[in-house]
Amino acid sequence: MSVQQKEKDQIHCPDLSEIDNVNKKVNVNDLMSRMQENKKQERKNNIILSAAAISAVTVFGIILTL
């Protein structure tokens, strides 16, 4: 096998020792805080998108009335 093929195999199939080193405990508080941050970011994005849509409709309406 070529060196490139070996590198590809290592990327797709990591050693089992690396998998064993992964922390298996889940911090629920960390997950909850991350979820709340995601909700806040999503809410901000929704508000910005809504404001942009309302502004576009308003500008389009003003242009039509002229």
Predicted TM-score of the model (pTM): 0.55
Instruction: Write out the two tokens for 31.
Output: 């997950």
**pLDDT, tens digit, 9 for 90 and up, residues 17-56:** 555 556 678 899 999 999 999 999 999 999 999 999 999 9
- Start-end of H helices in the chain: 3-12, 16-20, 28-65
Which pLDDT value is given to residue 3?
A: 56
Q: Is the model more confident about 56 or about 10?
A: 56
Contacting residues for 15 by C-beta, under 8 A, at least 6 apart: none
